[in-house]
Structure 1
Amino acid sequence: MSDPLILFVTDLAATELLWCATVKAAVSPPPMRGDWAAFSEWLAERPERRTLPLSVLLPDQGCSRLMVPIPGASREKALQALPFALEDLALDELDQLVTVLGDRPQTPGRWPVLLVNAELRTRVLDALSVLGLKPQQLVAAADVLPVPESGCFHVWTEPVSGSLSVVTGPHEGMAFASLAGVNPAEQLAHILTRLEHPPQRVVLQMATERPPDWPSSIEFETHAEPTLADWCVLWRAGLTTNRLLSAIASPRAAGDQHWRRRWVQVAAALVAVLGLVLLSQGISAGQKNGQVQQLQVQIERDVHAALPQVTRIVNVQVQLQQALDARHSGTQSDGLLPTLAFFGAAYRVAQPNDPKLAIQSLQFSAHKLTVALVAEKYTVLQKLLEQLQVTHAAAGGWVVSPIDAGVDAGVAHMRIGMEQLRPEHGSREQAQ
């Protein structure tokens, strides 16, 4: 990604500009200086300059950087409490300021806040709009300067305007105009004596002498004033390393927020769909459970009706098989199963001859099985009866006789009676 084009607005009227172009040389050149027209001409020299990411720095006199005491770690709640917390801290009316709250507290209960002069912000954004530019960020110039260690203040002289910017910590500081012919250190000394928590050391980034009234408890240190080329290096480093508060949402951040909203909407829809699926599955499972319970009750009712001797159902299949085995053997045998098998063999032979051949009813009483049959063809019923009689004649052991038969409304019907001969019956018939 390309280094950003840095644009520094030097005054509250937003008429004088410094801009630092991206460079590949080892030594950074000084920034260019001019008004909006000069900046526009410079952009027009190379069309690719318009495609560079743009970071705009606002003069510190148009911004306030402060830590606001708000309990808790919820940003939503902090936003609600912020107007009340700023009543005693902001020098201007809140409706004249654009308020930016940090994403999270710097330390527990202390939130970073940036206040930007609303008119200054509007002038800058309008001028950029005329040029067809959308900045990535709009930040206070002091926010991109090196952050001093705890207990130390850094004092800078802003280029062009010469106003003083005091950086007291991350997202904290003050700014005031320098007085002509007055040592900046003298102006600062009067302020330091009124602070509730003065620093232990002050580093002035300028060549100046220690004033006579400088507080003796505060260490006085001076460094060489940065050149214009040095300012470009300082700003670029701060844009990379410092945690910044921007008075606008960058196009990328706005896009990310848009997509976050879209994803939240999609996630909400998915949650709703998932809830409906789970609900329907729950209802379906509940219905199935109800059907299973109803079927279980019906099975138990039928088993008790068929097997009254069974008082407790444990395994229906096993208990039913045991009951059938008991009926098929010994003194309890009543001939039902053998008779069914005898009839079933003949029925399977006849069934392919008439698709409408069907068993209308089965009745077993007094060792006799009565079967009511219907079919489309009466001849099929007659052949079934003959097959049963032929099988009886060949194998013996059953008495087969037609009870009634006929054709009504085009439907053939027949009732057949079958009874397995018991041993005593068979011996009696043989004796006769």
Structure 2
Amino acid sequence: MAERLILFLGDDPDGPLHWLQLDQAERVLERGVLVGDEALPAELTASPATGLAAGTRVLLAKARVPTRSRQKLLQALPYAMEDQLADDVDTLHFALGQRDTEGAWGVAVVERDWLDRWQQRLAELGITLQRLIPETLCLPLASDHWCALLHAGQAVVRTGQQAGFAADHETLAVLLDAALEEAGEDAPQEIRLLHAGALPEDLDDTALPLQPEALQAPRDWLAAHSRDPHAINLLQGDYANNRIDRSLLRPWAAVAALFVAWMVLLSGSLVLEQRQLRAELAALDAAVLETLREVFPQATDVRQARDRLQTRLGQLEAGDGPDHGDGLLETLRLIGPILRQDEAITLSGMSWRGGNLEIELQGDSLQQIDRLSRQLNAANGISAEVRSASSGNEAVQGRLLVRRSSS
């Protein structure tokens, strides 16, 4: 929980601006008051700022609107409450709270002019509020009593989760009695009365017993209780603040850290798996080359022979030949050992068509080509015939047709 800046937006936007800085334990680090165009210390403007709106400037009410759409609700609120308000609804700002168990929405109403003037002053000070809540809703909430705070000549009273009112000292007793009568069976058993000075004399006649408690620093006390999750944030609609409240994100920091760690581990696992696959592919490639060398030890370019073989197999798999590649592999397996026996003969080429393998050879003599043909014919499962043989200046060129026999 970071240090927080609390600003008290009083009744007069041109009047004194009281402020407090709280530490992580909600203890006051610094306090001050700005008059006129005085500015805050520069280091304080970086702290998350919460504004407490004067209770006398905020009307807390309830509204019943027959819709669950928040957008339609905000549009209908001014007209649904028009009969309850003395001012023109176009001059007022409506902030929506929560819905109670009876279906009524909590609503906070404030004058636009007052809010505009405060926002302009804060902007000139380089301050952007993250939240602006009524000071009335900073009072503690209990089921068996109401809470009232008297300070600076004013009184604020919290009567419910999102309900309360403000008054001056002279009218407090009258308004308390009216609120108790309106509450009926839901009226509290007593009123907790926090005060920073002498109590008004007419409070002794209040219908409920009072439990007075003296406070030395009411603003410090309000600031320390300004985190109530039920408090209505006035910064909605036209006054919404689009900046992200980091304190709201903080509870998710651990989840985000775990997600990042998981992504790092997953990425590392994928990299290792990719490396392993590359190694397996390289080993497989080496095994293919070794097999080709065993079958064709006289070949001068084994990689080229492999490429030609793969190309041809692709053609066969596409339908070029009745055996679709299986006959070629079996034929090569059968003739490979025989070709290896005679190192004087060199394989210079081959072709596969219609189940027949034609191989081109080079040797020292025609007898070598003929002998190889006889050896192939003597082997089980294959037959061979010399298609052509010619003698050149330095070597003999021969062509053999090899096919698998039915025996």
Q: TM-score range by the shorter chain?
A: 0.5 to 0.7
2:233 is aligned with what amino acid? S
- Is 2:203 the partner of 1:222? no
1:165–1:173 CA contact under 8 A, matched in 2: yes
List per-residue Cα deviations over 1:377-422 (Å, max 9, x = no partner): 4756642213555999xx9x9xx997763559x995556899x9x9
1:4–1:53 CA contact under 8 A, matched in 2: yes
1:245 is aligned with what amino acid? I
Aligned partners of 2:92 and 2:7: how far apart in 1? 21
- Is 2:126 the partner of 1:169? no
2:63–2:107 CA contact under 8 A, matched in 1: yes
Tell me the equivalent position of 1:98: 93
Residue 383 (structure 1) aligned to one of 337, 348, 368: 368
List per-residue Cα deviations over 1:215-239 (Å, max 9, x = no partner): xxxx422344755x33123212312
1:207 Cα deviation after fit: 4.0
Aligned partners of 1:252 and 1:362: how far apart in 2? 73
Tell me the equivalent position of 1:405: 388
Aligned partners of 1:234 and 1:390: how far apart in 2? 107
List alignment gaps of at least 5 residues for structure 1: 264-269, 271-294, 307-319, 321-336, 364-370, 423-432
1:139 Cα deviation after fit: 1.6
1:350–1:384 CA contact under 8 A, matched in 2: no
1:70–1:82 CA contact under 8 A, matched in 2: no
Aligned partners of 2:353 and 2:318: how far apart in 1? 25
Aligned partners of 2:210 and 2:384: how far apart in 1? 131
1:255 Cα deviation after fit: 9.6
1:350–1:380 CA contact under 8 A, matched in 2: no
Tell me the equivalent position of 1:244: 231
1:8 is aligned with what amino acid? F
- Is 2:51 the partner of 1:56? yes
Tell me the equivalent position of 1:232: 219
List alignment gaps of at least 5 residues for structure 2: 194-198, 236-240, 257-262, 264-315
2:345–2:368 CA contact under 8 A, matched in 1: no
Aligned partners of 1:379 and 1:23: how far apart in 2? 98
Larger radius of gyration: 1
Aligned partners of 1:242 and 1:28: how far apart in 2? 21
Aligned partners of 1:210 and 1:88: how far apart in 2? 35
Q: Secondary structure at the match of 1:220?
A: coil
Tell me the equivalent position of 1:80: 72
1:169 is aligned with what amino acid? G
Give the 3 Å change call, closer, same or farther, for CA 237–413 of structure 1 in structure 2: same
Mapping of residues 9-408 of structure 1, within 5 Å: 9-20=9-20, 35-37=35-37, 40=39, 43=40, 48-69=43-64, 77-85=69-77, 87-89=79-81, 91=85, 92-102=87-97, 105=99, 107=101, 109-150=103-144, 152-157=145-150, 159-160=151-152, 162-177=153-168, 182=170, 184-190=172-178, 192-193=180-181, 199-201=187-189, 203=191, 205=193, 206-209=199-202, 219-224=207-212, 226-227=214-215, 229-240=216-227, 243-248=230-235, 249=241, 251-253=243-245, 346-350=338-342, 353-358=345-350, 373=358, 375=360, 377=362, 382-388=367-373, 405-406=388-389
Tell me the equivalent position of 1:8: 8
1:354–1:380 CA contact under 8 A, matched in 2: no
Q: Secondary structure at the match of 2:245?
A: helix
1:142 Cα deviation after fit: 0.7
List per-residue Cα deviations over 1:309-352 (Å, max 9, x = no partner): xxxxxxxxxxx9xxxxxxxxxxxxxxxx9xx97x7765444576
Q: As a proportion of its length, which structure holds more strand?
A: 2
Give the 3 Å change call, closer, same or farther, for CA 188–296 of structure 1 in structure 2: same
Give the 3 Å change call, closer, same or farther, for CA 255–177 of structure 1 in structure 2: closer
2:376–2:384 CA contact under 8 A, matched in 1: no
Give the 3 Å change call, closer, same or farther, for CA 116–355 of structure 1 in structure 2: farther
Aligned partners of 2:368 and 2:223: how far apart in 1? 107
Q: Secondary structure at the match of 1:98?
A: strand
Aligned partners of 1:391 and 1:198: how far apart in 2? 109
Aligned partners of 1:86 and 1:166: how far apart in 2? 24
1:359–1:372 CA contact under 8 A, matched in 2: yes
1:208 is aligned with what amino acid? E
Give the 3 Å change call, closer, same or farther, for CA 359–188 of structure 1 in structure 2: closer
Aligned partners of 1:19 and 1:416: how far apart in 2? 101
Q: Secondary structure at the match of 1:133?
A: coil
Q: Secondary structure at the match of 2:347?
A: coil
Aligned partners of 1:238 and 1:358: how far apart in 2? 91
1:165 Cα deviation after fit: 2.6
1:58 is aligned with what amino acid? A
Aligned partners of 1:226 and 1:130: how far apart in 2? 37
1:58–1:139 CA contact under 8 A, matched in 2: yes
Report the number of matched residues.
Answer: 315
2:59 is aligned with what amino acid? S
Q: Secondary structure at the match of 1:57?
A: strand
1:153–1:202 CA contact under 8 A, matched in 2: yes
Give the 3 Å change call, closer, same or farther, for CA 139–183 of structure 1 in structure 2: closer
Aligned partners of 2:34 and 2:217: how far apart in 1? 18
Aligned partners of 2:181 and 2:336: how far apart in 1? 117
2:35 is aligned with what amino acid? D
Q: Secondary structure at the match of 1:245?
A: coil
1:353–1:380 CA contact under 8 A, matched in 2: no
List per-residue Cα deviations over 1:40-84 (Å, max 9, x = no partner): 3xx45xx54555544321112221334545689x8xx33432432
1:125 Cα deviation after fit: 1.7
1:144 Cα deviation after fit: 1.0
